[in-house]
Each structure stands twice: as C-alpha cells, then as structure tokens.
Chain A
C-alpha cells in the first residue's frame, strides 16, 4: 500500500504537485493518469524518496521510504529505463542492485529469465534497444520480489508484443495480491489494464475512482441521426418528447436514445434517414475533458487583469471537440 497525504512539490514558482492525497491499494492495478507534465513522475520520485516533498507525506506500508530496510524487497520501481550505466552489463547492473539489498545472486538469473534478457545478460546496456532497456528496468523492479510495484509509463517505446507482455505482467502481479501503481498519459492504455484510476492535472487530484465507475459516468452513449428532412425530423422528435442536439454538419444527436425506436419514428413520419448510428463517446474524450478543465483553470489564473476570460457557456461542448477530433 502506498499512502500519499497532502503531498506537495514546488519548484521555484511552479507547483509541480499540489496537495495530493490518495491511497494505492493491493490486489489491483491502479492507473495514474495525467497529461505530460501533470506531475506523475515527480510524485513517483517522491514515493521513492528521490525528491523531497515541499509539504505533505508519503508512506510505504506505513513507513517512510528511507526507513525501509532493503527497500527493493518492499517496492520495486521502473521510473526511467535509461537510468543505467551503459558500460555495465545487464547482469552486473542487476547484481549490484541485488547485493545492495541482500538479494541472492540466483534471483538475478531468475528475473533476467522472466523478462527474456538471458541471452543478452552479458552485453553492455548501451547496446540495448528501447524495449530491451524497458525490460531491464522491469527486471530491476522485480528483483526483490516486492509486494508493491510502480511503473512510470512502462509501455513507452515498446513494440505491440512488448506492450501485450507488460499488460499481462501487471495484471498477473495484481492478481497475486500485489499493489501495482502504473502511470500513463493514455486513457486507452489504462482502460485495458487498470482496475482503479487516479487522474491528476496540473499537479492536482482530478479523480480517484474505480475504473468501472469512471466508465459508467463518462461513457455517454447516444444516437446520431442525419436526414435531408432535418426540420421535419426535429418536429417529429419533439412531438415524441425526445430532445435532440444539433451538432452541425446537419447531424443530430439523441442522448441515450434507442436506434430502433428512432428509426421507427422516422418511418412512421415518412422521413428519409441518411444516417442512424449508435455512438459511444470514448474514454479518451472524457479524460481530455477532465484534464482540459485543469488546463483551463490554469490559463484563467494567469490572465488576471488581461482579457476577460470566456464564460463557461462559450466553451465548446465536448461532443463538438469529439467531432473535430474525428475529422467530421
């Protein structure tokens, strides 16, 4: 278990991490989501005692990191796969880490085998591809057989096979009852692996929820209609007590509508339909909306005395941005 309480980090004027309080629990994969520069890596460095918090506190199973005896046996982390001396072989890199925490030499061979680097164990790390470097970092994290694992953007630079491997690895680690804390800036990645979700933006906590709840709250389903007889369609819909939103390009959207019902309604009124399609808003869009608000807040805070900030009504409806993104 990792517990953050009011964790704050300030670099000069900039608040990189702003009063974060949440708990990462065992037995599940907790996704740590935020756009680039949101403060994910800084938070993880503070968990490992590499950066000192300006305020607040973070504990591993109730203990401060620097009070842990042989910390690699409690928590294994992959923060930066390039944090390796390139002139040292993979085997020696892992060996020196193992020795510092009293981990037997045989374990080095085991983790090399787990990540599939046995064949290149004696090769210098500087010759490694990005994916191999990532695997070496994961081997280092697994070295002490820790109950807690922390990965910062683990799929970065991996090929599809590597991504598949690491997803399964994280899930199996969590299934063994371990605490798995993994950061990403991709909602789609989190949706596939995480059971719990912590979202931050501009260093602030934006959401701390189960993945299921997040999906339920944010995956808006609707039906898109397109017709050359748009006015008649709108009339027919309003007569039936169904509210439709015009989204431009002549398309209408009906929230939570059933395509069968809408199709039959159009047929009864003799209206030609060019499109009748059920749609699901992506979680990526929901995530963008969530974090965009944090960015918006920041931008407004900086325009004091400048141009008047636009009122909230003028902010584009997120369905509209979704459409722009799709290029309709």
Chain B
C-alpha cells in the first residue's frame, strides 16, 4: 500500500463529487465579494475616522474582511471531505481498500489540504487586489513591508481552517454534529470571546483569532497581543495538529 496510490485515489474521490466545487466556490466568492464591499465602505468612511484610526488603518486586512464569512464555507468543505465517508457508508468500502487507517486519513487530508491551499491562495490574491482597487488612494501595495506575507498568509489561514475542520470531523464522524459545533464556534463564540474585555485574553488563543493575525500588516492602536503574525499562525497550527491527532486516534481505534 503506497501513499502515492492513496493520494491518487483520494484525488479521484474529491474531484468526483459536486460538494467540492460548491463549497470551495462559495468560500472564494463570499470572501472576495464581501472583502470588496467592505473595502468600498471603508474608503468612504476614511475621512470621518479619528486620527488614531487613520494611523492604524490597515488596507490589506480590510480587503480580507470577507474571510470571516468565507471561512464558514471552508469549514463545510473540510467537514464534508471527511464526514461524507461516514454519512454515506463509503468508509467501510474505503477502509477495506486501504486498511492502514493512518495512511487513509492523512492521504485524504493531504489532498484536501493542497486543494484548500490553492483555492485559498487564489482567493486571497484576488480579494487583495480587488480590495486595494476599491480603496483608491488608501490602498496598500504588494511591495509594502509585510503585505506579501499577509496575502500568502490569507491562503494559509483558509487552508488551516479546512484542516482543523477535517480533524474535528474525523473525531465526530457525522457531518451534522461537526458543523453544529464548528459553525457556531467560529461564527459566534470566538467573536464574543474576542470582543468582551473579560474574555479577550482567552479569545486571542482560539485558532481563528490567532491565525488571522498573519493577515494584519498594521498593528491596531493599543493592541497588546503577545504574539506576532507568525506566532499567531503557529498557535493555529497547534490547534490543527491537535484536531488531526485526535481524529487519527479515533479512526485508528474505533470500528468502522
């Protein structure tokens, strides 16, 4: 059983179901469209901002504003890639063909991760350029310090969100349960924890909040976050690894 065979097989699986196209397509469209819209609104409001806000105005980060919603489609992609196996019963056919469960899971994750990165990176670049075009004279340039890192980081962020979802889905198996936990977590709980001053310090260690630091070029005024962009991404990577190790432990141990 070679890993190459498994990767080839998983590529056939992922390209032959329509959910791949619509989840990744939705992630790209929503991220780009919302980012562009918010860039337009931000340009209009720039003059009414206070001096502090004008100094910490981050055109790069603003063009990625759509990711908060677009990441939800990425979560659905990650969850469905794994939990489709369980909800359809295909898992028994798959594991009979590839009984080495680690090879199976990581082959699947590798293929989906690569695809998520390619789509995420393309989305990130398009969102950046469209956003900057809308921002006019306030726009950042790709050659500005930290901007290229932030744009590539946007692709990495989307990839890691998908990976985290795959790990969680491998632990929980069912798509409804996985989505029912991940969606409110990323859409509500993380935002609430991050915006209430009492829980802010906890909130910043959550995967999305730590990870999105990579897309920031200008540090907001009064921000005392104890990690930088790569440190934040590192925290997110730790979350992803924990989720995947958990998923591996479950798939290894439990009956299919």
Q: Tell me if chain B binds chain A.
A: yes
Within 8 Å of chain B (Cβ to Cβ): is A182?
no
Contact A85 B97 (CB under 8 A): no
Is B197's CB within 8 Å of the partner chain A? Answer: no
The CA-CA distance from A92 to B14 in the complex, in Å, is: 10
CB distance from B23 to the nearest CB of A (A): 13
- Is A85 a contact partner of B92 (Cβ separation < 8 A)? no
CB neighbours (8 Å) of B10 from chain A are: 96
- Determine if B99 is an interface residue (Cβ-Cβ < 8 Å): yes
Interface residue? B182 (CB, 8 A): no
Contact A97 B92 (CB under 8 A): no
> Are B93 and A83 touching (Cβ within 8 A)?
yes
- Assuming the contacts A96-B13, A96-B16, A97-B9, asked whether A83 and B255 have C-beta atoms less than 8 A apart, the reply is no
Specify which of A86, A92, A100 is in contact with B98 (CB 8 Å cutoff).
Answer: A100
Q: Does A52 reach chain B (CB closer than 8 Å)?
A: yes
Q: In the assembled complex, how far is the CB of residue B107 from the closest CB belonging to chain A, in whole angstroms?
A: 9
Taking a contact as CB atoms under 8 Å apart, the answer to whether A84 and B95 are in contact is no
User: Is the CB–CB distance between A97 and B97 below 8 Å?
Assistant: yes
Residues in B82-99 with C-beta less than 8 Å from chain A: 84-85, 88-99
Q: Check A88–B16 contact: CB distance below 8 A.
A: yes
- A52 lies within 8 A of B255 (CB): yes
Which of A63-71, A225-233, A270-278 contacts its partner? A63-71
Chain A residues lying within 8 Å of B91, measured Cβ to Cβ, are: 83
Given contacts A79-B92, A92-B12, A97-B93, contact A85 B17 (CB under 8 A): yes
Name the A residues within 8 Å of B92 (CB-CB).
45, 48, 50, 79-80, 83
Residue from B12, B19, B91, B96 whose CB has the most chain A CB atoms within 10 Å: B96
B77 to chain A, nearest CB (A): 14
Assuming the contacts A96-B12, A100-B6, asked whether A83 and B90 have C-beta atoms less than 8 A apart, the reply is: yes
Determine if B198 is an interface residue (Cβ-Cβ < 8 Å): no
Interface string of B1-45 (1 = CB under 8 A from A): 110011011101100111100000000000000000000000000
A36 to B217, CA, bound (A): 65
B99 A71 Cβ-Cβ under 8 A: yes
A140 x B95 contact (CB < 8 A): no
Is A50 a contact partner of B95 (Cβ separation < 8 A)? yes
Interchain pairs with CB closer than 8 A, number: 91
A49 close to B (CB within 8 Å): yes
Q: Mark A51-77, 1 if CB is under 8 A from B, else 0.
A: 110000000000001101111100001
Chain B nearest Cβ from A160, distance in angstroms: 27
- Cα distance, A68 to B96, chains bound together (Å): 11
CB distance from B169 to the nearest CB of A (A): 15
Across-interface contacts of A95 in B (CB, < 8 A):
12
Nearest chain-A residue to B2 (Cβ)? A102
Q: How far is the CB of B255 from chain A (nearest CB, A)?
A: 4
Contact between B99 and A68, CB atoms less than 8 A apart: yes
A258 CB-CB contact with B under 8 Å: no
Assess whether A72 is in contact with B97, with CB atoms less than 8 Å apart: yes
Alpha-carbon distance A84/B90, docked complex (angstroms) = 5
Q: Is B256's beta carbon under 8 Å from chain A?
A: yes
Interface CB pairs A-B, < 8 A, 13: A45-B255, A48-B95, A48-B96, A49-B96, A50-B256, A69-B1, A79-B92, A83-B88, A85-B84, A86-B88, A87-B18, A87-B19, A99-B5
* B interface residues, Cβ below 8 angstroms from A: 1-2, 5-6, 8-10, 12-13, 16-19, 84-85, 88-100, 255-256
Counting from the closest, the 4 A-B pairs by CB-CB distance are A100-B9, A83-B89, A92-B16, A66-B99
Assuming A71-B99, A84-B93, what are 8 further A-B pairs, CB within 8 angstroms? A45-B256, A66-B100, A71-B97, A80-B89, A83-B91, A99-B5, A100-B97, A102-B5
Give A residues with C-beta under 8 Å from B. 45, 48-52, 65-66, 68-72, 77, 79-80, 82-89, 92, 95-97, 99-102, 140
